């Protein structure tokens, strides 16, 4: 038995998580309840007075959300509004209908309670910013906050007060299509971006006319679906749930998120929508969340398909007991809650709690006083501020994966360029998944931006080669090869269409769709260097193609300013600075693959490994002294978490700690010198990782604990400091308790999760 002494400290979860966030470059701020006053009115008092006037039927009406997007207000809908039978609507995109619906609710119902009008504003409204996974690749939460702020301004002007974002599901499986909507695989990075987007949507004052309520989704474990199949089962031990999947939601709650959405999946046999443990015990009671919980689209009714509920009456009962305050689209609440209360199956106090939460958010939004509920107008073309932000975010999100012989950046003096690929001049697909309100006519494509940048002295030889990304039509291959041969460089714009990622779009094979691989391979056989730019909503398995070509820029789905961002990077106006928020597998067989894995009893690192081709014929049956990996692919990813090249080089040195011993409750100062040793001014994301070497529960081989984005001129050196709290180095046990244990730790700094500059320290009692 180990002689190591353990010291356990159990904290309130909110305090622990704040400590964790302050260790790096992102912050989360607890919502200040003292701001719950609008126009001199105390919100709690306003809510209680209104609640006391409501009939049971009117209360239940506040818990009902319905979908409407055709602009037609039927007589039935009008009567339901007058009777107070609806509390929220989503997807009413016709401004005139939006206004009329609100007018009826306010002026013709008994109590005049406004509706919350909702819309999926995931990564922009009219101005489309990079998909959330791409925003995470900036490693700059301030940019994500600014993007959400613009989106809130545009959406609120159209008459919406609520968005179903941000999505903060931690995902370790790129087969899952919804990985595009989240912030990647790491709970620390994901927490930073979750809090930032909440602050962006909601602003400093939720009652301001240009703010909208945010909704943290999907609570919880949705990204852990088996096989990466959307909506599928998740089995998550309590310690894993709390250490990996819950932290971003806690960060959102601490940032004051107005609403939380329950997930489609089940967790350990209990659907997330009917899960008392996660919804009531953790979210509402332990964390003190005082907003409201909305179900996902018909996820209440789907509990019958799960085999958890017998009928819709059972659905209503189990949903309200679990803590679902508002039902999206399905009808269990409207049809059965009143009956359940009158029969004594559930207490009216559960109804009161749910309605109180909904009214509280409506009051915080200022809907009872907000004149903007009587105004709605679709925003016009994106303004200069929005376009500049979209371009900056797109540039900082793109990750340079390969750059042989410093092929990039290109000179503007090239005599000829071949621009090839199905996404070179497509203004729609680069907008990405969940683009509901962006306009392709606003998009600047790569072809348009390059033509604008290099003028008329360079010959541009353009052909798509394939009519669209999934096409297997090879009829233009010969022409594409001919254009490549007569050009000095090939820029190939590949990827997957926006519809191939996002909800319900899981993929078993993650290669480039259609005949793109085949065309790129043929172009690589020419003597012309090939630069591959990939637009996608997830990591793709591009290892075979990567070996054949000279440079790869991973651009995700960058949004409205796609072409301008790509052109500036390709021609060296700015250096790429994006870093991967998700590990790239070599092949689907490695999935799940993520940097913060466990060491196992037979770690492969540093061992002489036997590969499949090394095994003698009819070899003696043994383990061959091997380790935790695959015989045919090894254990390394194609590209690790945190990875990204630059047009310059950065050198890390002088890693120092203020002390090699730190007491529980104290901080340790970490500093490292970073030097730009190349020829170009550029930005670097400095990353801090730790490892707890021995613990009562085994810990990951590395965990991100801080990051800072810095800009360095040629030959410039900066000392980067981190304040690392000992209290942020704990973990949750299988009993749900947060503990910090004394013992030794390793610490690394560098430009990716494979950072090698290391020191060590010890937490002491």
| Residues with active-site annotation | 296
Calpha distance 278→404 (Å, rounded):
49
Q: Residue 196 phi/psi, 5° resolution?
A: -65, -45
Pick from 364, 356, 358, 355: nearest CA to 36: 364
Would you tell me how many other CB atoms lie within 10 Å of the CB of residue 254? 26
Alpha carbon distance 218, 245 (integer Å): 10
Q: Quick one: residue 686, left, alpha or beta (phi over 0 = left, psi -120 to 50 = alpha)?
A: beta
8 A C-beta contact, residue 466 and residue 141: no
Tell me the C-alpha distance between 525 and 496, whole Å: 23
SS3 278: helix
Residue 587 CA, chain-centre distance (Å), reads: 23
Distances (CA, A) of 533 to 402, 471, 485, 632: 11, 18, 19, 28
The CA distances from residue 326 to 69, 125, 261, in Å, are 19, 24, 9
Number of neighbouring beta carbons within 10 Å of residue 640 = 17
What are the distances in angstroms from CA 730 to CA 4, 330, 563, 690, 739? Answer: 16, 41, 44, 11, 5
Is the omega angle on the peptide bond into residue 218 within 30 degrees of 0, that is, cis? yes
Taking the C-alpha atoms of residue 481 and residue 523, their distance in angstroms, rounded to an integer, is 6
Phi and psi at 297, nearest 5°, equal -55, 105
What is the rounded distance in angstroms from the CA atom of residue 103 to the CA atom of residue 143? 36
Is the torsion defined by CA of 537, 543, 548, 551 positive or negative?
positive
Report the alpha-carbon distance of residue 448 to residue 425 in Å, rounded: 7
Residue 755 and residue 689 in contact, taking contact as beta carbons nearer than 8 Å:
yes
């Amino acid at each position: 038995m180990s002689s190591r002494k353990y010291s356990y400290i159990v904290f309130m979860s909110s305090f622990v998580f704040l400590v964790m966030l302050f260790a790096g470059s992102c912050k989360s701020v607890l919502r200040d309840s003292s701001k719950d006053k609008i126009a001199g009115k105390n919100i709690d008092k306003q809510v209680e007075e209104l609640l006391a006037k409501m009939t049971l039927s009117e209360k239940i009406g506040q818990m009902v959300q319905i979908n409407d997007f055709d602009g037609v207000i039927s007589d039935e809908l009008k009567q339901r509004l007058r009777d107070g039978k609806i509390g929220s609507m989503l997807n009413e995109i016709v401004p005139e209908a939006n206004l009329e619906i609100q007018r009826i609710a306010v002026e013709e119902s008994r109590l005049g309670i406004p509706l919350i009008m909702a819309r999926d504003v995931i990564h922009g409204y009219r101005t489309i910013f990079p998909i959330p996974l791409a925003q995470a690749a900036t490693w700059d939460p301030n940019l994500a906050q600014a993007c959400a702020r613009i989106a809130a301004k545009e959406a609120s002007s159209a008459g919406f007060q609520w968005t179903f974002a941000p999505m903060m599901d931690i995902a370790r499986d790129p087969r899952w299509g919804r990985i595009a909507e989240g912030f990647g695989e790491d709970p620390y990075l994901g927490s930073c971006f979750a809090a930032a987007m909440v602050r962006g949507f909601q602003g400093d004052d939720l009652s301001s006319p240009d703010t909208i309520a945010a909704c943290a989704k999907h609570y919880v474990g949705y990204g852990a679906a088996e096989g990466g199949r959307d909506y599928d089962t998740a089995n998550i031990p309590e310690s894993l749930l709390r250490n990996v999947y819950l932290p971003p939601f806690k960060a959102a709650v601490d940032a004051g998120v107005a609403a939380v959405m329950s997930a489609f999946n089940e967790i350990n046999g209990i659907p997330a929508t009917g899960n008392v443990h996660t919804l009531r015990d953790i979210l509402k009671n332990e964390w003190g969340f005082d907003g409201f919980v909305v179900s996902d689209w018909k996820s209440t009714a789907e509990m019958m398909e799960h085999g958890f509920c017998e009928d819709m009456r059972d659905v209503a009962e189990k949903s309200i007991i679990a803590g679902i305050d508002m039902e999206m689209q399905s009808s269990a609440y409207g049809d059965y809650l009143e009956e359940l209360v009158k029969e004594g199956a559930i207490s009216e106090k559960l109804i009161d709690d749910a309605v109180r939460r909904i009214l509280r958010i409506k009051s915080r939004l200022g809907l009872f006083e907000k004149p903007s509920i009587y105004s709605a107008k679709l925003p016009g073309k994106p303004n200069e501020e929005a376009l500049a932000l979209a371009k900056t975010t797109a540039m900082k999100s793109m990750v340079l994966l390969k750059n042989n012989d410093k092929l990039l950046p290109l000179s503007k003096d090239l005599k000829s360029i071949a621009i090839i690929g199905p996404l070179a001049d497509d203004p729609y697909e680069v907008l990405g998944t969940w683009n509901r309100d962006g306009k392709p006519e606003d998009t600047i494509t790569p072809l348009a931006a390059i033509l604008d940048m290099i003028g008329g002295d360079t010959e541009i030889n353009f052909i798509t080669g394939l009519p669209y990304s999934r096409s297997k039509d090879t009829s233009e291959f010969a022409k594409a090869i001919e254009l490549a041969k007569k050009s000095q460089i090939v820029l190939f714009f590949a990827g997957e269409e926006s519809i191939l990622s996002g909800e319900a779009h899981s993929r078993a094979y993650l290669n480039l769709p259609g005949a793109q691989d085949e065309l790129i391979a043929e172009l690589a056989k020419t003597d012309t260097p090939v630069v591959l730019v990939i637009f996608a909503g997830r990591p793709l398995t591009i290892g075979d193609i990567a070996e054949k070509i000279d440079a790869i820029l991973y651009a995700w789905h960058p949004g409205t300013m796609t072409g301008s961002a790509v052109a500036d990077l390709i021609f060296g106006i700015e250096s790429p600075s994006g870093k991967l928020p998700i590990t790239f597998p070599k092949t689907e067989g490695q999935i799940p693959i993520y940097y913060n894995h466990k060491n196992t009893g037979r770690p492969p690192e540093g061992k002489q490994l036997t590969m499949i081709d090394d095994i003698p014929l009819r070899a003696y049956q043994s383990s061959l002294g091997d380790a935790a990996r695959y015989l045919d692919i090894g254990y390394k990813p194609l590209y690790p978490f945190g990875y990204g090249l630059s047009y310059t080089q950065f050198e890390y040195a002088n890693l120092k700690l203020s002390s090699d011993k730190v007491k529980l409750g104290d901080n340790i100062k970490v500093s490292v010198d970073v030097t730009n040793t190349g020829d170009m001014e550029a930005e670097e994301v400095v990353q801090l990782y730790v490892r707890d070497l021995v613990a009562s529960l085994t810990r990951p081989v590395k965990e991100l604990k801080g990051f800072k984005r810095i800009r360095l001129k040629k030959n410039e050196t900066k000392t980067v400091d981190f304040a690392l709290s000992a209290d942020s180095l704990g973990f949750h046990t299988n009993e749900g308790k947060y503990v910090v244990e004394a013992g030794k730790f390793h610490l690394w700094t560098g430009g990716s999760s494979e950072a090698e500059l290391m020191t060590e320290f010890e937490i002491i009692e």
